[in-house]
Amino acid sequence: MGFRDLTLRDVEEIITMKGTIFDILLATAERASDIREAEEKALQQQITQTPPFTAVVPRKRRTAFRIRTQIAQQRHQPLPEKFKNVIEEMARGKELTPATLVIQKGLCGSDVSREESRLSIPTSRISDDFLTEEERQRVGSKKNNCIDVRIVEPSGAVVTAKFCRRDVKKSGAKKVTSSCYKIKGRKWIEIVARNNLELATVVQLWCFRVDRELCFALVPLPSNPVFTAAAGDAA
């Protein structure tokens, strides 16, 4: 800040003032100082009124995190009577094991995609105790690694689909392998279509056995406005 900040009117007013050259220079310096102080005060006020910087997180990432958090906080619901009745009908006169919960998750985009045609079951989120040692070896093999399983879908119908496991080696020095079980194929995408399963629908996958045959029950939880809103955000 200095003499260059003075306006023409300021200069004219100073020149018309009576006094010595020293008085004129002193008045000029005082006016320049006043202008500088006013500008600094305005700048400081602007800084204090500016909201603090907030990192912008992509909307899809916020939505996915919110869904995962709410699912983790939600208490597991018991197997509905409707599914119990279908299971008992399947096992009439046969050996039946109690149904146990394998996973509770919100459906992601790939779970309801016709191109992907599979329900992913990350091994990091479950215990594979529901499988026999023979089944673990079968689904973990490189060839013919799918086994047929019967699934009680939300409508109550019973369909047969493919169950397998996929191992993916991640890039990097450590070469960590991630694994997930999958219910896949045309039958899965038909289940999605028939039962109007959508992104962020929260489902439970239960496991049971009829005469040692591996079976599942897919149970959608009652609609929750929070998940409905989250699905809208992700669309």
| pLDDT per residue as tens digits for the range 47-84 | 555 444 444 556 655 555 555 555 544 556 789 999 99
Distance between CA 161 and CA 150 in Å, rounded? Answer: 6
Average pLDDT over all residues of the chain: 79
Structure-token pair, residue 160? 């047969």
Indicate if the pLDDT at residue 208 is higher than 60: yes
Q: Which long-range contacts (CB under 8 A, 24 or more apart) does 160-165 make?
A: 160/187, 161/185, 161/187, 161/188, 161/191, 162/187, 163/139, 163/214, 163/216, 164/139, 165/123, 165/139, 165/140
Question: Is residue 129 situated within a structural domain?
Answer: yes
- Residue 44 and residue 158 in one domain: no
- Residue 41 and residue 156 in one domain: no
Higher pLDDT, 53 or 32: 32
- Residue 20 and residue 75 in one domain: no
Give residue 15's domain range.
Answer: 3-49
Distance between CA 16 and CA 3 in Å, rounded? Answer: 17
Question: Is residue 207 situated within a structural domain?
Answer: yes
Cα-atom radius of gyration of the chain, to the nearest Å? 34
pLDDT score for 173:
57
Question: Is residue 63 situated within a structural domain?
Answer: yes
- Residue 39 and residue 133 in one domain: no
pLDDT score for 160:
97
Mean pLDDT on 90-94? 94
- Residue 37 and residue 69 in one domain: no
- Residue 25 and residue 112 in one domain: no
Mean pLDDT on 25-52? 63
Compute how many other C-beta atoms are within 10 angstroms of the C-beta atom of residue 162: 17
Least trusted range by pLDDT, from 12-21, 76-85, 196-205: 12-21
**Total of domains in the chain:** 2
- Residue 125 and residue 186 in one domain: yes
Select from 49, 67, 82 the last residue of a domain: 49
Question: Is residue 36 situated within a structural domain?
Answer: yes
- Residue 35 and residue 63 in one domain: no
Residue 4 confidence class, pLDDT cut points 50, 70, 90: low
- Residue 91 and residue 190 in one domain: yes
Mean pLDDT on 80-96? 95
Indicate if the pLDDT at residue 233 is higher than 50: no
pTM over 0.85: no
Question: Is residue 54 situated within a structural domain?
Answer: no
pLDDT score for 189:
95
Residue 234 confidence class, pLDDT cut points 50, 70, 90: very low
- Residue 24 and residue 134 in one domain: no
Indicate if the pLDDT at residue 235 is higher than 50: no
Q: How distant, in Å, are the alpha carbons of 19, 74, 115 from that of 110?
A: 85, 23, 8
pLDDT digits (tens, 9 = 90+) for 185-197: 999 999 999 999 9
pLDDT score for 184:
94
- Residue 30 and residue 138 in one domain: no
Question: Is residue 199 situated within a structural domain?
Answer: yes
Indicate if the pLDDT at residue 126 is higher than 80: yes
Mean pLDDT on 30-42? 70
pLDDT score for 227:
46
pLDDT score for 41:
72
Q: Which amino acid appears at position 139 of this protein? A: V
The CATH number given to whatever domain includes residue 104 is 2.40.330.10
- Residue 67 and residue 45 in one domain: no
Residue 177 confidence class, pLDDT cut points 50, 70, 90: confident
The four Cα atoms 216, 221, 227, 228 give a dihedral, to 10 degrees, of 110
Mean pLDDT on 96-105? 95
